[in-house]
Every structure is written in C-alpha cells, then in structure tokens.
Amino acid sequence: MDCHTKEQRRKNMQAIKSSGSKIEIKLAKALWKIGYRYRKNNKNVFGKPDITLKRYKLAIFVDGEFWHGKDWAKRKYDHKSNKKFWISKIERNIKRDKEVIYRLRKEGWRVLRFWGKDIDKNLNKCISKIEQKIIEKKQS
C-alpha cells in the first residue's frame, strides 16, 4: 500500500523532471570542463539524447535506474502498488530505449547509455568511456 495520499503521490510524480537532472548536469559539466562542446536534449536527433556531440556523432543517455528498469528481471515485482501500470510502463521504456539505440546506430551514431548511479559513483570511468568512443571515431 502507498504511504502517500493520491494527492501527495501526484505532486511527487509531477515534480520529476524529464531532463536537467543532477546526474545529467554532473556529466555535462565534466565534459565541458575537459573541453568537449555538446548539445543537451537535441530535438533534431532521434530519441532526444541527453547529450549529443554532433562532431563525433555521439549520443549519450543518462538513465534513471527506476524509470529505465535497471536489473529489471530481479526488480520487476518490487512495486507495492499499481503493479500492472508500473510493469507495463517500465517495459515500454525499456523497449523504446532499444528502438532508439537501433535507429541511432542505423543513422551512424555511436550510442552510450549510463545509469545515474554509475555517473554518481564513477564519473571518471564514464568520461573515459566517452573519450574512448571519440578516439574510435577520430581513427575511423
């Protein structure tokens, strides 16, 4: 059972932003600091990646563990209320993520997806992965 009233839950859910999260900003600032220029939530790129480096055709997504189903096979039944809705919603998100990756790769983009916690705990490792993709692009 939910510990919040319907009105409290509604307000909590409305407050969740689709872009500009703390984790997203942390990654973007780190990229800017080392000299990479990017676009945030570029509407001209399919799937509206969180960060795009057009010069290198690199699309970066920052995924929240809850919304994008990290460890979904284990966590699928953790929801206490409205299970049918949440399972359906998160599975749609997972499916959409796969479709976005497929289409972007087909269009010649390199795609990186990071979990929010990975950025929070291992920012340098995430930056290294991005730089590795940039090096690969320069060499090809």
Where residue 109 sits, what CATH number does that domain have? 3.40.960.10
The number of distinct structural domains making up the chain is 1
Note the pLDDT of residue 2.
64
| Domain assignment present for 131 | yes
- Residues 19, 40: contact at Cβ < 8 Å? yes
Domain of 99, in residue numbers? 20-139
| Domain assignment present for 55 | yes
Q: Model confidence over 15-33: pLDDT tens digits? A: 666 666 889 999 999 999 9
| Domain assignment present for 1 | no
Stated pTM of the model:
0.84
Q: Cα 18 to chain center, whole Å?
A: 10
Average pLDDT over residues 36-40: 96
| Domain assignment present for 14 | no
